[in-house]
Amino acid sequence: MQLGRPITWIFFCALALLTACTPHFSSLVVAEPDMVQDCQYLDTISDFSDPGKSLFPNKYGRYYDGERKVLERAYNMGATHIVWQYNYAIGSSASAYRCPE
């Protein structure tokens, strides 16, 4: 029983660190082009994945470094919706929009 406690403690600490380091972009809505017709177009964002980066987990599953960069840039510019142009392991591109609530 004494041996199980340190292992349990290490597991929960590692889980907490992983969760804390995971970027969350839950306010961004992935939309289709017809859903953003009445929205303000902000920019088209493209970025490449770093082949040395591993996949980052999020609540939707896993995504690549390029996808994370595009989501982060869209979120930082105040976008509410994105429309993916392409989203591959080597890179991603999306149009960012700000839609009224």
Give the model's pLDDT for residue 13.
55
Tokens of 28: 């961004």
pLDDT at 89: 77
**Residues constituting the chain:** 101
Within 8 A by CB and 6+ apart from 93, the residues are: 44, 45, 46, 47, 70, 84, 85, 86, 87
Q: How many domains, in total, are found in the chain?
A: 1
User: What is the pLDDT, as a whole number, of residue 52?
Assistant: 61
pLDDT reported for residue 36: 96
| Cβ contact 71:29 at 8 Å | no
Q: What is the pLDDT of residue 57?
A: 56
The neighbour count for residue 57, using CB atoms within 10 Å, is 13
List per-residue pLDDT tens for the chain, 101 residues long.
Answer: 444 566 665 655 555 544 444 456 778 899 999 999 999 999 999 998 876 665 555 445 556 678 888 999 999 999 999 999 998 878 899 999 999 87
Who's near 70: CB < 8 A, 6+ residues apart?
45, 46, 47, 82, 92, 93, 94
Q: List the domain range (segments joined by +) for residue 64.
A: 4-98
Q: What is the pLDDT of residue 94?
A: 96
Instruction: Give the CATH number, domain containing residue 39.
Output: 3.30.1660.10
